[in-house]
Amino acid sequence: VQQVNQLRHLSDLAREVAPIQGATDLRDLYAALARSVRQTLNVDGCLVSVWDRERNALVDMAASVMPPYRLNTLTQQFSLTDFPAMSEVLKKGKSLEVSVSDPEAHPAEIEFLRQMKVRRALYCRMMADGEVIGTVESYRIEDRPFRKDDFRQVDLLVGFAASAYSRIKLAERLEGHYMTTIEAMVNALEARDPGTVSHTGRIRDLAVSLAVAIKLPAELRHAIKLGALLHDVGKIGISDSILGKPGALTDAEWVQMRCHPEIGVRMLQGIEFLQPSVPIIRHHHEFWNGAGYPDGLAGEDIPIGARIVSVCDAYDAMTSDRAYRKAMSRDDACAEIDRGAGTQFDPGCARLLVKLIQSMGEVDNLEERFVRYAN
Ligand SMILES: [Fe+2]
């Protein structure tokens, strides 16, 4: 019986470990870790937080919860000077159990548990490549102690996450080399049109947040990130007199302007790692109702990445100052996006973008401010 139990245990573990090993970016990895720890320990919530060395703070990155338990979806930051027990865990690496009924627990830690509406927590440290990455926090609504086995299982899962972390970091370093090339292209474009400086960066942040909210897979999110940065790269091939024209364009000028998606596609032909982003660049001016360009695609025939970039591009254009008009307020721009839902924009994407903007406040670093839910 014991052997059968051990085998079952092993196959359960293998199932929990697979998403950790399969993660292709750090946010996915943290989410997979939060979920597997929560399921393996059968706790109400698990939070993965990363240590910000400079500020000596913990920043929540991913969460997995057992309904009806709920956590805030906005990234929280906690200064570690306020939490001595958690600091100890980060410094020494020894896992720590905290309970609201423990008379020796630090008042700040107990107050924190009360705010989280839980009675017991297990804090563990995550390391990779000899460096402290952050913590894995497991929460129980009931004040029920953790078993020795729980400690061991978290350690094991964190160990798997650590090797995935090293692999992802290496891939990111390689990616950094080609990102330099992409940035050079984007800078060349923005230099032509000073009104659009940092425009592409903002659209990328919005588009990636939307892709995360729709729970698109990591490869597609990556294609959207690059596609959002490069969506207008074909404008490099549009003449200055059109690009910089302060007033309305003539019909003939519009014909030229409307070539920029296809010019972009031609520019990026043959660059293999950008191929998943090419459909986004080609179709970012298509309309949901089929009235857009260059191909007049409609509805879900338009690639999802292009639908996302289209609505983010429109929002960002409306909320930016241009030579010929002032920026619209956030609320007016959201109303405008709402009006275009179902005609210009994918209604699902439009609604989600408005919701995201209204719940998140400012648009800067949206992705960083968003705790990823694993379930
Ligand atoms: Fe465009």
At residue 368 the predicted structure's pLDDT band, cuts being 50, 70 and 90, is: very low
Compute the distance from residue 233 Cα to the ligand 1 centre, in Å: 8
Cα 242–chain centre separation: 35
Mark the residues whose beta carbon lies below 5 A from ion ligand 1.
232
Does position 24 have pLDDT exceeding 90, yes or no? no
Q: Which residue has the higher pLDDT, 305 or 181?
A: 305
Confidence of residue 374 (pLDDT cuts 50, 70, 90): very low
In Å, how far are 104, 185, 279, 347, 368 from 210, measured between CA atoms? 44, 24, 18, 13, 13
DSSP 28-82: HHHHHHHHHHHHHHT-SEEEEEEEETTTTEEEEEEEEE-TT----SBPPEEEGGG
Percentage of the chain lying above the pLDDT 70 cut: 92
* Separation CA 370–CA 62 (nearest Å): 9
pLDDT at 369: 44
Cα separation of 361 and 192, whole Å?
30
Task: Find the mean pLDDT for residues 145-149.
Answer: 93
Structure pTM? 0.66
**Looking at beta carbons, which pairs linking 52-58 to residues 24 or more positions away fall under 8 Å?**
52/77, 55/79, 56/80, 56/81, 58/83, 58/86, 58/134, 58/135
Per-chain mean pLDDT for the chain? 87
Interval between CA 341 and ligand 1 midpoint (Å): 19
Q: Is the pLDDT of residue 62 over 90?
A: no
Question: What CA–CA distance (Å, rounded) separates 349 from 303?
Answer: 12
Distance 27 CA to ligand 1 centre (A): 29
Expressed in angstroms and rounded, the spacing between residue 368 Cα and the centre of ligand 1 is: 26
pLDDT number for residue 339: 97
pLDDT in tens, 313-337: 999 999 887 766 788 888 999 999 9
- Residue 284 Cα to ligand 1 midpoint, Å, equals 6
Distance from residue 258's CA to the centre of ligand 1 (Å): 8
Quote the ligand 1 centre to 264 CA distance (angstroms). 10
